[in-house]
Amino acid sequence: MPHTYFDTLIIGSGLAGLTLALNLAESKKVGLITKQALLDGASGWAQGGIAAALSENDSPESHIRDTINAGAGLCDEEITRSVLESGPKAIQWLIEQGVPFTRDQKNNTGYHLTREGGHSTRRVIHAADTTGQAVQRTLGDKVLNHKNISVLENHIAIDLITSRKLGNTDTNKNCCFGAYILDNQSGRVKTISAQNTILAAGGAGKVYLYTTNPDTATGDGIAMGWRAGCHIANMEFIQFHPTCLYHPHAKSFLISEAVRGEGGILKLPDGKCFMSLHDERAELAPRDIVARAIDFEMKKRGLDCVYLDISHKPKAFLKEHFPFIYARCLELGIDITRQPIPVVPAAHYTCGGIVTNLNGKTNLEHLYAIGETAHTGLHGANRLASNSLLECLIFGQAAAKDIFNQEPIPTTKLPQWDESRVSHADEEVIISHNWDELRRFMWNYVGIVRTNKRLQRAQHRIKLLHEEIHEYYSNFRVTSDLLELRNLVDTADLIVQSAILRHESRGLHFSLDYPDTQSHIQNTILKI
């Protein structure tokens, strides 16, 4: 079996992973693992843009205030200030890398800035309506052409290799030495050791039946970190994007927050507006409020969807600002210049994750977590729109600086992956059935609105799935489908555990049994 060594092993190829790789590669040998192709992660799906106080009419203080308001009291103020004050410099780094942000000479920044829900002003820099794709392609090209970065596509991490798992209990410190990685093409398991390992594997949107996330978002980093002994925080806060396109042939296609920021209006099938009945900010309220309002109206009236109407704007304006959304909707028979867009809420972003400090370090030695996999304290109980890509940039750069300041550790001889007592699975249909069952009951029982009874039902189902998957994992050779299902079930369990522990409604977590918000503010921390 192959055994490979890197100075730094990065698991995940979204913006956080790419940023870290490029910041390390001048003097470090970097291995970057990605489940599919390099650019297939969730970062490339981001439409809206990146929030930062760039305009002379804006300030970091205003951005901090908006972020804390959206976070419903749970944002870490020190982290929030540090990240958002660093925003303009991080954007400048992207510009220097060649990211083609949309220009606007009328603006004092030289770039067009849009406004999204929860923001008090225009501060979202973007590349038309495919910002994530533009950023990923720009950085991805540099990564692929860098002599010190080895990209392993079609590889999925199985588990981290730690001192505790190797039987070393001589010290209180649990240290990470690398990971076991499955090569999807050959079916072989590789042992990869590294001075530092970084979990940058994204979020867990695929734990729900309806999501805006790509198929890769199966909670891999969070689940691996949990099994290795990482502390986990605030997994109950799952952000549901209010406006995912409702169409039988539109898989996970979201309609950007910027559509509402530029004047889009939410309507019922009869054309009546409803958002002002739920919040004085109407369409520009934070995502949790808009998603709950839509969910309420749909359930109250028995609707399959509501409608987002921006047809009152000039056609030229819509084609210029939303070319991707315009073209995709037109392919599906929806002309957004003349008719409203059918939309529903869908799971979008995991606000909780592995607890880290300002440098992305976890409670395990030589293990970092960055991007959506991490809980940094920036997002609190609800992420402010377009803060996520900024977080990826800042923590990718911060982790790189911390790694440069470390003293090297001795290399450790790692055991090879042992599959001598397992066989090939004879009925892989079990995996697809369990996957479908999990996503359906998570949507029904642990969705936008929750109750104790629903959470207990979900917890019971998860326990049964855990037992079945553990038996399957113990007896058969691993496959990517099995690994993703295992990670999804672990992540679902963390979400439900966290939701049961929170006896209030706050931000993205809304419980009919605990509708009030407590005066006492605290994070939900899970430890093995």
- How does DSSP classify residue 249? T
- How does DSSP classify residue 110? S
Instruction: Find the distance separating the first CA and the last CA of the chain, reported in whole Å.
Output: 31
Under 8 Å between Cβ of 384 and 51: yes
3 state SS of 38: coil
Cα within 13 Å of Cα(395), Cβ side = 34
Say which range, 38-42, 77-81, 207-211, has the weakest mean pLDDT. 38-42
H-type alpha helices, 236-308: 257-261, 287-301
H-type alpha helices, 98-178: 131-144
d(CA 46, CA 385): 11
3 state SS of 267: strand
Most confident range (mean pLDDT) of 40-54, 279-293, 490-504 is: 490-504
For residue 426, the one-letter residue type is D
Which tens digit of pLDDT belongs to each residue from 363-374? 999 999 999 999
- CB neighbourhood size of 268 (10 A): 14
d(CA 143, CA 500): 42
0.85 surpassed by pTM? yes
Q: What is the pLDDT of residue 170?
A: 65
3 state SS of 152: strand
Judged against a pLDDT cut of 90, whether residue 452 lies above it is answered with yes
d(CA 30, CA 10): 7
Cα within 13 Å of Cα(61), Cβ side = 2
- Across 72-99, average pLDDT: 96
CA–CA distances in Å: residue 485 to residues 102, 423, 447: 39, 19, 19
Judged against a pLDDT cut of 80, whether residue 171 lies above it is answered with no
**What share of the chain in percent tops pLDDT 90?**
78
2 pLDDT band (50/70/90 cuts)?
Answer: low
1 pLDDT band (50/70/90 cuts)?
Answer: low
User: Higher confidence at residue 102 or residue 475?
Assistant: 102
3 state SS of 388: helix
Q: What is the pLDDT of residue 409?
A: 80
Write the burial class of residue 167 (CB in 10 Å: 0-12 exposed, 13-18 middle, 19+ buried): exposed
For the chain, list the domains and their CATH numbers.
Answer: 1-237+351-416 (3.50.50.60), 238-348 (3.90.700.10)
Q: What is the pLDDT of residue 426?
A: 62
Judged against a pLDDT cut of 90, whether residue 288 lies above it is answered with no
Token pair, residue 295, equals 């969910």
d(CA 179, CA 389): 26
- Across 482-489, average pLDDT: 95
Write the burial class of residue 216 (CB in 10 Å: 0-12 exposed, 13-18 middle, 19+ buried): buried
Q: What is the pLDDT of residue 411?
A: 78
Judged against a pLDDT cut of 70, whether residue 92 lies above it is answered with yes
Judged against a pLDDT cut of 90, whether residue 477 lies above it is answered with no
Dihedral sign, CA of 441, 443, 449, 455? Answer: positive
- Across 523-528, average pLDDT: 95
DSSP string, 183-248: ETTT-PEEEEEEEEEEE-----GGGSSSBSS-TT-S-HHHHHHHHHT--EE-TT-EEEEEEEE--T
Q: Which residues of 19-29 are buried (b: 16+ CB within 10 A; e: fewer)?
A: bbbbbbbeebb
Under 8 Å between Cβ of 365 and 299: no
Q: What is the pLDDT of residue 80?
A: 97
Write the burial class of residue 428 (CB in 10 Å: 0-12 exposed, 13-18 middle, 19+ buried): middle
- CB neighbourhood size of 468 (10 A): 14
Q: Which residues contact 237 (CB under 8 A, 6 or more apart)?
A: 351, 352, 379, 380, 381, 382, 507, 508, 509
Catalytic residue selected from 122, 123, 260, 287? 287
d(CA 275, CA 490): 36
Which tens digit of pLDDT belongs to each residue from 384-434? 989 999 999 999 999 999 999 988 887 778 988 887 677 776 667 788 889
Token pair, residue 426, equals 């004879």
Under 8 Å between Cβ of 206 and 215: yes
Under 8 Å between Cβ of 122 and 115: yes
Token pair, residue 464, equals 């049964």
Q: What does pLDDT average to over the chain? A: 93
Look up 287 and say whether it is catalytic: yes
